[in-house]
Amino acid sequence: MFTRTENLRDYIRFYPVITFIIFIHILLYLLTALPIFPSKYLFERLAGVNLYVVNGEYWRIVTPIFMHAGFAHMLFNSFSLVLFGPALEQLLGRTKFILVYLVTGIAANLATLLLEPLTYTHVGSSGAIFGLFGFYISIIMFRKAMMSRENSQTIMTIAIIAVIMTFVQSNINITAHIFGMLSGFLIGAAAYRR
């Protein structure tokens, strides 16, 4: 379930939504990192800045989901999506997967808007990725037969480590991580709870 054995061509064919999201991650990273583009302008226009959202720049609730603060940040989030996204894209289908991904990312950013100071600035797809983990946890709790015990243990272990690391590492949007996971869990619970 979480072991990737596909070649690149098959991966792109089987998981087009994840492939497209990662393409956007890489493209936006390159546009903000390479000196030939107005990188600071683009980053400043797309990053989540609570003050600007309050002043009407509502796109900043969505665009930070696809922006990253640096190469390592982009690589880690994209790699997490490559590993843990495919099973959900197959399970949910393309449309429902992108809805879960976007809704959990938006929920994480709305929580950041409501709970963090107006001066708070944030980027990253972590809230949406934590949303996927929350969705997996709801499957584990409400539809155990859908996942093997081994895969359930893998998800729970990684989710616990991810939550711990959220509080240990610096420069982490704790609010986005927690509310992304919570929103993913609630969406999954609504879908799978009997």
pLDDT tens string for the chain (194 positions)? 788 889 999 999 999 999 999 999 999 999 998 887 776 888 999 999 999 999 999 999 999 999 999 999 999 999 999 999 999 999 999 999 999 999 999 999 999 999 999 999 999 999 999 999 999 999 999 998 999 999 999 999 999 999 999 999 988 999 999 999 999 999 999 998 86
Q: How far apart are CA 63 and CA 53, in angstroms?
A: 11
Q: Does domain 8-192 have CATH number 1.20.1540.10?
A: yes
**From 25, 68, 122, 177, the catalytic residue:** 177
DSSP string, the chain: -------HHHHHHH-HHHHHHHHHHHHHHHHHHSTTS-HHHHHHHHSEEHHHHHTT-GGGGTGGGG--SSHHHHHHHHHHHHHHSHHHHHHH-HHHHHHHHHHHHHHHHHHHHHHS-TT-EE--SHHHHHHHHHHHHHHHHH-GGGS-HHHHHHHHHHHHHHHHHHHHSSS--HHHHHHHHHHHHHHHHHHH--
**From 78, 126, 138, 152, the catalytic residue:** 126
Is 177 an annotated catalytic residue?
Answer: yes
* Predicted pLDDT at 194: 67
* Predicted pLDDT at 135: 98
pTM: 0.94
* Predicted pLDDT at 2: 82
In the chain, where are the structural domains located?
8-192
